[in-house]
């Protein structure tokens, strides 16, 4: 399994075989507060890096979620419909949003790794 990569918009992606699982970071879920709803893209949708593909809502805020890499949506996490709180409990695990079949396996390497992301977060909250 490849290492987890992060975007500046707080999405994460992790390549496993030829499919990349994507979600929002633990920092993002904490910042949003209790997640009440996640709007997911249709399976089969072709997406470009940086394109809005999902929306995540807490009871008083809504934020767009962008595709971390180019590719095709091959699965979405249907469990989130019934229990959106999973995102708060396990943002980096069971609270994943969607899986992308990458158009370009190397593209994710341009994103931040865990250590870089952590120092990026420190920069946001000096």
Partner 1 sequence: MRYLPLTKTDRDTMLQTIGAASVDELFLDVPASACLKGPIADLPFHKPEYEVESLVGAMAAKNVAAGSCPSFLGAGAYRHHVPASVDHILLRGEFLTSYTPYQPEVSQGTLQYLFEFQTQVAMLTGMEVANASMYDGPTACAEAVMMANRVTQRKRAVLSGNLHPHYRETVETMARTTGFTLNEAPPSPGALENLSSQIDDQTSCVVVQNPDFFGRLHDYTMLANACQAKGALLIVAVTEVMSLGLIKPPGEMGADIVVAEGQGIGNGLNFGGPYLGLFTCKEKYIRQMPGRVCGQTVDAEGRRGFVLTLSTREQHIRREKATSNICTNSGLCALAFTIHLSLLGEAGLTGLAELNHAKACQLAEQLAAIPGCRVLNDSFFNEFTVELPKPAAGIVDALAKQPILAGVPVSRLYPDNKAMANLLLVTATELTTDEDMDALVKALREACR
Partner 2 sequence: MSEQGDTKAAAIAAMEASKGIMLEEPLIFEQGAEGRTGIDFPAGFDASKTKPRLGATRRKGKIGLPGLSEPQVVRHFTRLSQKNFGIDSVFYPLGSCTMKHNPRLNEKMARLPGFGDLHPLQPISTVQGALELIDQLAHWLKTLTGMPAVAMVPGAGAHGEFCGMAAIKGALAARGEHRTKVVVPESAHGTNPATAAALGFTVETIPATAEGRVNLDVLKSKLGPDVAAIMLTNPNTCGLFERDIVMIAEAVHKAGAYFYCDGANFNAIVGRVRPADLGIDVMHINLHKTFSTPHGGGGPGSGPVVMAESLAPFIPLPYVTHDGKNFQLIEHAADAKGKQPFGRMKGFHGQMGMFVRALTYILSHGADGLWQVASDAVLNANYVLASLKDVMSAPFEGPCMHEALFDDRFLKDTGLSTLDMAKALIDKGFHPMTMYFPLVVHGAFLIEPTETESKETLDAFIKAMRDLAQKAKQGETEMFRQSPRFTPRRRLDETRAARQPVLKWTGHNAQAAPQTAPTRHKAENALAQNTKSEDDDAAWAAPVLKTAS
Which residues are at the interface with partner 1 (CB under 8 A)? Answer: 36-37, 39, 57-62
Please, what is the minimum distance in Å from the beta carbon of residue 62 to partner 1? 4
On the 0-12 / 13-18 / 19+ scale of CB atoms within 10 A, 119 is: exposed
For residue 67, what are the contacts with CB-CB under 8 A and spacing of at least 6?
11, 22, 47, 48, 49, 50, 51, 53, 100
- Given the rule CB under 8 A, which of 31-39, 41-49, 92-100, 101-109 is the region that contacts partner 2? 31-39
From candidates 10, 77, 87, 117, binder to partner 2 by CB under 8 A: 10
Q: Say which entry of partner 1, partner 2, none residue 28 contacts (CB below 5 to 8 A, set by partner kind).
A: partner 2
Phi/psi of residue 23, nearest 5 degrees: -160, -165
83-122 residues near partner 2, rule: CB under 8 A: 84-85
Q: Say which entry of partner 2, partner 1, none residue 9 contacts (CB below 5 to 8 A, set by partner kind).
A: partner 2
CA distance 1 to 91: 18
CA distance 13 to 125: 23
Compute CA 7 distance to the chain's CA centroid, rounded to the nearest angstrom. Answer: 9
- Given the rule CB under 8 A, which of 13-21, 23-31, 91-99, 100-108 is the region that contacts partner 2? 23-31
> Which residues are at the interface with partner 2 (CB under 8 A)?
8-11, 24, 27-28, 30-34, 36-37, 56-66, 84-85, 124-125
């Amino acid at each position: 399994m490849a290492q987890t990569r992060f975007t500046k918009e707080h999405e994460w992606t992790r390549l496993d075989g030829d499919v990349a699982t994507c979600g929002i970071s633990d920092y993002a879920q904490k910042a949003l507060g209790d997640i009440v709803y996640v709007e997911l893209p249709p399976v089969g949708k072709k997406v470009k890096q940086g394109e809005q593909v999902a929306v995540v809502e807490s009871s008083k805020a809504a934020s767009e979620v962008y595709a971390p890499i180019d590719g095709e949506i091959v699965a979405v996490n249907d469990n989130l419909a019934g229990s959106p709180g999973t995102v708060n409990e396990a943002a980096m695990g069971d609270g994943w949003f969607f899986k992308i079949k990458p158009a370009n396996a190397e593209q994710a390497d341009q994103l931040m790794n865990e250590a870089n992301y952590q120092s990026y977060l420190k920069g946001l909250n000096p």
